[in-house]
């Protein structure tokens, strides 16, 4: 199972909106978005479980595709502290032994200029 | 809220030495996962435990072993260390018995092998 994440790099001005995309040929039970700062662990931003689900967390909005093969994460009104690496991670079938064997995208490195 | 605790945060070892990494999951979480993240890479799944039993294995070298104890904390033991083992090692936990449950990551242990 592979997750293609784009773009790889994103450099924007403070206040701008941005969107990160994840696509796969595989179906996932759920999809999670994480943000990671250098030397720190990934921090969960949004978890998506239902096909077509649209979920918001403050300035963050994410949607799980109808086919469960894709997702996007949108951040509105970006601020300098949004910088970091954003990962999408797909989770295989719930309840199976491979439940926590997340497949990560390659990451999107976000820079926000004041 | 309590998070996943990992120790030590940093560890420096020489080639062929042994290292032990510890993980304390979020209270009441029943599943622990270990991931390895090389420089500029996305996290790679190593091994997981559900209710103290190994539930899945990823690309974990035979030189590595892990276990989950009665208090649910977990240890990753790494022997005959190689330079290529230098990486960030993350532990994550979830409450699998609820079904869909996202992974929550610790801040990791940075292992440097010299």
> Min CA distance, A3 vs chain B (Å)?
11
CB contact under 8 A, B103 and A44: yes
* Rounded Cα–Cα distance for residues A7 and A28 (Å): 21
- On chain A, the residues whose CB falls within 8 A of the CB of B74 are none
Q: By the 8 A CB rule, do B21 and B6 touch?
A: yes
Q: What tokens were used for A2?
A: 């592979």
pLDDT at A99: 62
| Average pLDDT for chain A | 92
Nearest CA in chain A to B47: A101
Q: What is the pLDDT of residues A63-99, one digit of tens each?
A: 999 999 999 999 999 999 999 999 999 987 655 556 6
Provide the chain B residues 43-82 that lie in CB contact (below 8 A) with chain A.
43, 45, 48, 50, 55-56, 58
- Determine contact, residues B4/B57, Cβ cutoff 8 Å: no
Q: Which residue has the tokens 């921090």?
A: A43
Q: Per-residue pLDDT tens for B35-80?
A: 999 998 999 999 999 888 988 888 899 999 999 999 999 999 999 9
């Amino acid at each position: 199972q592979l997750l293609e994440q784009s773009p790889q790099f994103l450099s924007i001005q403070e206040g701008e909106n941005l969107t990160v995309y994840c696509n796969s040929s595989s179906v996932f039970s759920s999809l999670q978005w994480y943000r990671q700062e250098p030397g720190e662990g990934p921090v969960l931003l949004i978890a998506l479980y239902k096909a077509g689900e649209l979920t918001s967390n403050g300035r963050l909005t994410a949607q799980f595709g109808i086919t469960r093969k894709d997702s996007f994460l949108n951040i509105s009104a970006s601020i300098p502290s949004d910088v970091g690496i954003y990962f999408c991670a797909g989770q295989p079938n719930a309840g199976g032994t491979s439940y926590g064997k997340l497949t990560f995208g390659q990451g999107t490195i976000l820079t926000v200029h004041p | 809220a309590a998070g996943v605790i990992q120790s030590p945060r940093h560890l420096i070892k020489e080639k062929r030495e042994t290292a032990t990494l510890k993980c304390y999951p979020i209270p009441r979480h029943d599943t622990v996962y270990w991931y390895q993240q090389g420089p500029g890479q996305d996290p790679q799944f190593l091994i997981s435990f559900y209710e103290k039993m190994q539930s899945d294995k990823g690309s974990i070298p035979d030189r590595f072993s892990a276990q989950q104890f009665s208090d649910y904390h977990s240890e990753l033991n790494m022997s005959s260390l190689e330079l290529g083992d230098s990486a960030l090692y993350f532990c994550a936990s979830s409450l699998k018995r609820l079904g869909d449950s996202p992974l929550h990551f610790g801040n990791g242990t940075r292992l440097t092998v010299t």
